[in-house]
Amino acid sequence: MKKKKVYIAYTGGTIGMKPSDKGFVPQEGFLENTLASFHEFKHPDMPEITIRDYAEPIDSANMTPEDWYLIAQDIQGNYDDYDGFVVLHGTDTMAYTASALSFMLEGLQKPVILTGSQIPLTQLRTDARDNLINAVYLAANHPIPEVCLFFHDHLHRGNRCSKTDADGFAAFSSPNMPPLASIGSTIKVREHLIFKQNKPGLNVQKFSSPKIAILTLFPGISADLVKGFLSQPLDGVVLQSYGSGNAPIKNQALMDAIREACANGQVIVNCTQCLKGSVNMATYETGNLLMDAGVISGYDMTTEAALAKLYYLFSRGLDRQTIREKMMDNLRGELTIPQ
């Protein structure tokens, strides 16, 4: 049987850093040289690997939509030559990148798995070794045709994840969807959850530069603040509301500002501040009036997914009404539409 091939892109992040007098720092070629000494990659069940160290490793706090596009282009350029792809990435914005790539990579039919670590690969108590070995093994032997995120024994759908622990090894959660696969003494793949794109042939949709923002409600938020925020020339807004999609409706000036922004063409998507659960604006008056104002439901999308989806849809040159409709469609498995 022909040996599988996996392409590893080291974009930056803790996993490939080396110690120095100034703390841990990235160094070109360091990761490849380190992995060459790992006997696990010589095991017959492991694929052939190719490692690309990015010439200028990116701290994930500095990640931009332009960087997402470079990663997507890298995958596209090597797509025909490999069975799967592993993207090594810093943890801080990994969920944003995973969400963005899930929309950018149209027609994806091969696994793309993001992973990283909380402690560098070279350190004694590192979580990097297990994350990397399992991600590579899954990419080669379990052809799940999605952008995924692997961390601490779980393979999640990338656009369902958020980083929920700054220090722990189980740094990522997928609160509204079970893992696609769980790793223990055996590998359990939940085949019924896998999302398959019907569009054949990989195409990368570059993100343009729509003006997208996130507005978080909090008790005591002033109408002037909201009005000033929404008076900017914004195209789309992720509104982080309370509970199942509620807002302070007694603050009439605040509600008027939201209503006016929607009337002026802004696409405002309602996502809950809660870690788990879904927006249902029909449940309470405090959500119903948001719906009447023109706000659309983000259902159970993460903030990261809603943001990436707005970038994606605006980049396709669609009219505002179509964008509003497609934000509520399940395009990449990013949301659950209530039955």
Which residues lie below 8 Å from residue 304, measured CB to CB, with a gap of 6+? 95, 96, 98, 99, 159, 161, 162
Phi first, then psi, for residue 77 (nearest 5°) are: -65, -25
115 as an active site residue: the answer is no
Spatial separation of the C-alpha atoms in residues 316 and 319, rounded to whole Å: 9
Spatial separation of the C-alpha atoms in residues 111 and 113, rounded to whole Å: 6
14 as an active site residue: the answer is yes
Spatial separation of the C-alpha atoms in residues 236 and 5, rounded to whole Å: 40
Instruction: Tell which residue, 76, 69, 143, has the closest CA to residue 107.
Output: 76
Catalytic residue among 14, 126, 286, 302: 14
Phi first, then psi, for residue 289 (nearest 5°) are: -70, -30
Whether the Cβ atoms of residue 54 and residue 66 lie closer than 8 Å to each other: no
Phi first, then psi, for residue 22 (nearest 5°) are: -105, 15
Catalytic residue among 11, 34, 91, 164: 91
Q: Which residues are catalytic?
A: 14, 91
